[in-house]
Structure 1
Amino acid sequence: MLLTLATAAIAAELREDHPTTYTVKKGDTLWDIAGRFLKKPWLWPEIWQANPQVQNPHLIYPGDVLSLVYIDGQPQITSEGPRVGEAVDTIPLSDVEPFLKHFTVVEDVEALPYVIGLEDDRLYSTAGQLAYVRGLAGAQPGQVVDIARPVHSFGGGDYANHAGRSPLDFRGDRTHTHWGNPPGFGEAGGEFLGYELQIHATGEVTQVQGEVAVVVLREEGREIRVGDRVMPSEAQPYDLQFQPRAPESVPEEARILSVADGMGAGPRLVVAISAGARDGIRNGHTFSIWHEGAIRPDTVRHGNLMSAKADEVEMPDDFLGHLMVFRTFDKVSYALVMDGIRPVSQGDLLKHPDATQ
């Protein structure tokens, strides 16, 4: 009976205008392909019939022919094709590439080596010039490093801004806090979630003398200044080959920490969320986004304002859209807003993608 109900539930989520077959094209994304067959793209793993006889069976390639078939009464998507070229990305690479390549989150920025000086005592340095790094213990000539600038802290204070993000100065210290804000989540909730760093350049260690390493900056990248932090360079720190899916559970009070443009975010814009690997969050996990309902005094029933405030009513949460996680750290993740009916803002709640209230 349970199997029959589950099968019927998945079948009910098929789009009425779904194709019987679809030939994958260059430029397609897995989210878009899933959306051709399903009302809810995050249900894709429920109908995708991966072929265990081929290498990387979950990947889809341009030229593959996807067919909707029924196996034991259950709708399934099967694939046949040449499987050549590059597999389709889960989400548009161009929308998230800056956050994949140029941003990272660490627990302790003060423990990282840092730029203590620049060639000819310049204020800033660019490609081909030398940076002097203190604290790069055990470095060897030829080692490749990333040079990053602390830009924000997530969480930590009792009275910092309610969005859970504070800007940092060149030492990695907060430049200001907003005293007097009420406790909430992230920073206002007291838990420190990590430091956001923006990677500005890549360099190569040329020599080490005592506790100072000399790093020559490579051509690509932004300017470097004293105080920038240094980390080992990762050849491939991210992976887009994952499937959209619902999370096993939603962390309590998971919220939007920040939006990429600092204002409101709409579809195809990046946000940071207050949940990560420690909460079971993985790439591909999809959430619905909600604006928390306001609490309003009943001024209709009560003419006296004090009486009205004593009889406050909580408004329902407002549905805004969906997002999908594409890069996960321990306590923070980056996600892409996939669809929406209203702009997303800092502080908005995350719920299961199927939530209705």
Structure 2
Amino acid sequence: MLKRLSRGLRTVFAVAALTVAAYATAAEWRGDHPDTYVVKRGDTLWDISARFLKKPWLWPEIWQANPQIKNPHLIYPGDVISLAYLDRLAVQPGPRQAAPINAIPLDQIEAFLKDLRVVDEFEQLPYVVSLEEDRLRGSQGQVVYVRGLAGAQPGQRYLIVRPTQRYTQTRRTSNGQYLPFKEDLDFRGKRLLTQTADLDTGWTNMVLSEGPLELLGYELARVNLGTVTRGEVGNVEASTVLLDEAGREVRIGDRLIPVDAHGYDLQFFPHAPKTQLPIGKAQVLAVADTDRYGGPRDVIAISAGARDGVDNGTVFSIWRNGSNVIDKVEYGEDRSYQSVPKKSRVQLPDEFAGHVMVFRTFDKMSYGLVMEGIKPAKVGYTLKHPDATY
């Protein structure tokens, strides 16, 4: 009797769960969705979901709940997606000559998957001390001389990388928010100037870094690939490395790391953050290939990583930090910003800018692709839950 009752209760709970799931799914549909959609070459899962769902990052939960779809990533151009039956998705296979579509366009993040990594330190790595014929730059077919490869044997291969950025984060004691720092590095990997984003005014300034800052990591960019042709023999104090790739030119100060199976994800399941981060903890550290601003399909560096519960596929909303302004009605138009105490200024609300999905995660920071936006994303903007309303 107890077993029958248990089975009965499980059935009731299962039916109730499916009913709730179906209602939740229906609530997320856009009202104008068609009965079917034919997947096209160039589509991504995010793009398709954005056409029919109010929250495109919810597609994994919805699609995986349907037994017709064994793997939501194995959807191909030509497949017909049914959107009519009980507001659920069912895929009718089409021609399968092309590769399956992904959540995001891999070609736009390939360089960040293959050629960039973030490490806690690099000063201990072997480095290029000079080049063939005392050149300033070296390219494919030329040799460079490396210090710190004692014991290296001919035939060993190394990636040649360049420290490009130093990312740090500190806490502002005045308001408890975080202020990100991005520092360019010189050829030795030493710090130059620091780019900061002022959370009060929204302006970006160049300042020399001072005070204790938490290190988030050093960005290492792949430059070339080399093969050891001669180690340190006799009175020679540098190993000889032949440059193998027609990539970027190598210079003095570039570092070497062993070639390894550097794995990274190629499939991504968008989802909300698994843990609630303190407001201000996750911010835009940098925008790739630009000074301060980025838009859809731009890559940004984020000041949160695996230690904060961020993983590949995590979706954040991007917010412009609300300005802290002078009430000119009360103080007049001639008062300077600094002359009015902060407690007497007016704090304005944050402004929504767009959404970003993380595709590469390190311990203390990560890289994300801006998926869509209504205004540019900027260095210093705050990242929140994708469903945040303020």
Partner of 1:249: 275
Three-state SS of the structure 2 residue aligned to 1:99 is helix
Q: 1:77/1:254 Cα in 2 relative to 1: closer, same or farther (>3 Å)?
A: farther
Structure 1 residues 310 and 175 mapped into 2: Cα distance closer, same or farther (>3 Å)? Answer: closer
CA distance in 2, matches of 1:208, 1:22: 61
Confirm whether residue 172 of structure 1 aligns to residue 200 of structure 2. no
CA distance in 2, matches of 1:91, 1:57: 13
- Matched-pair contact (CA < 8 Å) for 2:183–2:195: no
Whole-Å separation in 2 of the counterparts to 1:102 and 1:25: 30
Give the drift of 1:56. Answer: 6.1
Aligned equivalent of 1:41, options 41, 44, 56: 56
> One-letter code of the match for 1:213?
S
Aligned equivalent of 1:120: 133
Matched, 1:278 2:307: yes
Deviation of the 1:307 alpha carbon? 7.6
State the 1:135 CA deviation. Answer: 2.4
CA distance in 2, matches of 1:114, 1:2: 59
Q: Distance in 2 between matches of 1:142 and 1:54?
A: 48
| CA offset digits 1:3-42 (Å, max 9, x no partner) | 6455423211112232333332322222112223312210
* TM-score of the two chains, using structure 1 as the length reference: 0.85
Report the CA distance shift for 1:308/1:274 in structure 2 as closer, same or farther (over 3 A).
Answer: closer
Alignment check: 8 A CA contact 1:267 1:337 kept: yes
d(CA) in 1 for partners of 2:361 and 2:294?
19
Aligned pairs, number: 352
1:252-309 Cα shifts (integer Å, max 9, x gaps): 2100000111121111111100011222222221110001112223343456967875
The 3 A distance-change label for structure 1 pair 77 and 295 is farther
Which stretch of the first structure deviates more once superposed, 25-34 or 77-86? 77-86
Letter paired with 1:167: D
Q: Is the 8 A contact 2:121 2:218 kept in 1?
A: yes
What TM-score do you get using the length of structure 2 for normalisation? Answer: 0.79
- Structure 2, gaps ≥5 residues long: 1-15, 173-178, 203-208
Query: What RMSD, in angstroms, separates the aligned Cα atoms of the two structures?
Result: 3.4
Cα separation, 2, equivalents of 1:233 and 1:120: 27
Counterpart of 1:195 (choices 218, 235, 238) is 218
> Does the C-alpha gap of structure 1 residues 177 and 250 become closer, same or farther in structure 2, counting only changes over 3 Å?
same
What letter corresponds to residue 313 of structure 2 in structure 1?
Answer: G
Give yes or no for contact 2:165–2:218 (8 Å, CA) kept in 1.
Answer: yes
Query: Which residue number corresponds to residue 346 of structure 1?
Result: 379
CA contact (8 A) 2:182 2:195 kept: no
In the alignment, structure 1 residue 265 sits paired with structure 2 residue 294: yes
Letter aligned with residue 344 of structure 1 = A
* Secondary structure, aligned partner of 1:170: coil
**Structure 2 residue identity aligned to 1:322:** H
Taking the aligned partners of 1:187 and 1:273, their CA distance within structure 2 comes to 22
> Which of 321, 326, 335 is residue 297 of structure 1 equivalent to?
326
Residue 221 of structure 1 pairs with residue 254 of structure 2: no
3-state secondary structure, aligned to 2:47: helix
Quote the Cα distance in structure 1 between the aligned partners of 2:118 and 2:210: 16
- Alignment correspondent of 1:110: 123
SS of 2:187's partner is coil
CA contact (8 A) 1:154 1:187 kept: no
Q: Give the aligned partner of residue 24 of structure 1.
A: 39
Contact 1:155/1:187 (8 A) holds in 2: no
Q: Is the 8 A contact 1:134 1:212 kept in 2?
A: yes
Q: Does 1:64 align with 2:79?
A: yes
Q: Offset of 1:96 from its aligned partner?
A: 2.0
Task: Report the Cα distance in structure 2 between the residues aligned to 1:55 and 1:133, rounded to whole angstroms.
Answer: 51
2:78–2:94 Cα contact (<8 Å) kept: yes
Q: How does 1:1-12 map to 2 (within 5 A)?
A: 4-12=19-27
Q: Partners of 1:55 and 1:39 in 2: how far apart?
A: 24
Cα gap change, 1:55 to 1:214, in 2 (>3 Å) = farther
> Aligned to 2:49, what secondary structure does the other structure show?
helix
- Per-residue CA deviation, residues 138-166 of structure 1 (Å, 9 max, x unaligned), is 6443333211111110006799xx54100
* Local SS of the residue matching 1:124: coil
Instruction: Work out the percentage of aligned pairs sharing the same amino acid.
Output: 54
2:12 corresponds in structure 1 to none
The answer on 1:86 being equivalent to 2:99 is yes
Letter of the structure 2 residue corresponding to residue 349 of structure 1? T
Does residue 266 of structure 2 align to residue 240 of structure 1? yes
Looking at structure 2, the residues matched to 273 and 328 of structure 1 have their Cα atoms a distance apart, in angstroms, of 9
Tell me, in whole angstroms, the C-alpha distance in 1 between the residues paired with 2:240 and 2:251: 14
State how far apart, in whole Å, the 2-side matches of 1:59 and 1:191 are. 42
